[in-house]
Amino acid sequence: QQQVRQSPQSLTVWEGETAILNCSYEDSTFDYFPWYRLFPGESPALLIAIRPVSNKKEDGRFTIFFNKREKKLSLHITDSQPGDSATYFCAATEGGSAKLIFGEGTKLTVSS
């Protein structure tokens, strides 16, 4: 059973638009949610992360919105650029554990 789910599987936006990537989870004990970005041929790199004590985390053009009650979060990429084209992974850590579980990823394409 997939404990961390992402949607959509793939997303195409125009340059300058806001891309919205969704993530949901099952386990209410999850207490840390990092997002990673993966470019082809490279290894995943941490992009931004949030803890449930916050409902929003912002870093430049990247913002996480978090809804603890609905067990959902989303990554918003404003003013999308072609260089943002990559696969984005939502991940979650079980409370009190080092176990980090990933979603299946959203492949983002930004067209110019």
Partner 1 sequence: GGIITQTPKFLIGQEGQKLTLKCQQNFNHDTMYWYRQDSGKGLRLIYYSITENDLQKGDLSEGYDASREKKSSFSLTVTSAQKNEMAVFLCASTGTGVNQAPLFGEGTRLSVL
Q: Is the CB of residue 44 less than 8 Å from the CB of residue 58?
A: no
Interface with partner 1, residue 49, by CB under 8 A:
yes
- In the complex with partner 1, which residue's Cβ is closer, 40 or 112? 40
- Among the listed ranges 17-25, 36-44, 61-69, 71-79, the one in contact with partner 1 (CB under 8 A) is 36-44
Measured between alpha carbons, how far is 93 from 84 in angstroms, rounded to an integer? Answer: 25
By CB under 8 A, what part of segment 85-104 binds partner 1? 89, 91, 93, 98-104
Q: Helix %, strand %, coil % for the chain, to 5?
A: 5, 60, 40
Determine phi and psi for 71, rounding to 5 degrees: 55, 50
Interface with partner 1, residue 65, by CB under 8 A:
no
Work out how close the CB of 112 gets to partner 1 at its nearest, in angstroms, rounded to a whole number.
25
Helix (H, G, I), strand (E, B) or coil at 82: helix
Give me 2's structure tokens: 């997939």
Query: What residue ranges bind partner 1 (CB under 8 A)?
Result: 6, 9, 31-32, 34, 36, 42-46, 49, 51, 89, 91, 93, 98-105
